[in-house]
Structure 1
């Protein structure tokens, strides 16, 4: 893969990570999450590639 491709992909994934963390933290601040565990799902789609990638996991609430 080309250097340009790698850089654009890394930039996109960094943006996804940072903005997703900010959104989760904001939602946690405005809710009572103490002692709770939340099921999380991230869905990545790329138009033109017919790609749908799903990642699931758990996020523990704040104590």
Structure 2
């Protein structure tokens, strides 16, 4: 696989993660399942068959 194809494949995956994650967060907030002014979030990335485990945490300000 070429480097360009590899990079495009990663970008396609990350775009899917971003779009679907945003939808799920919005749904959760709209359903009223969140209280307070901020939503604490954590995303964990793993890859089958590897030791990859990358965790990103953050806070999302609520409307």
TM range (shorter): 0.7 to 0.9
Q: TM-score, normalised by structure 2?
A: 0.86
Partner of 2:57: 56
User: Which structure's relative contact order is higher, taking Cα pairs within 8 Å and 6+ residues apart?
Assistant: 1
Report SS of the residue matched to 1:38: strand
Q: Residues 15 and 33 (structure 1 numbering): CA distance in 2 closer, same or farther, change over 3 Å? A: same
Structure 1, gaps ≥5 residues long: none
Q: TM-score, normalised by structure 1?
A: 0.86
Structure 2, gaps ≥5 residues long: none
| Alignment RMSD | 1.8
Q: Is the 8 A contact 2:28 2:34 kept in 1?
A: no
Q: What count of residue pairs does the alignment treat as equivalent?
A: 62
Q: Runs (4+) of structure 1 moved beyond 3 Å?
A: 32-35
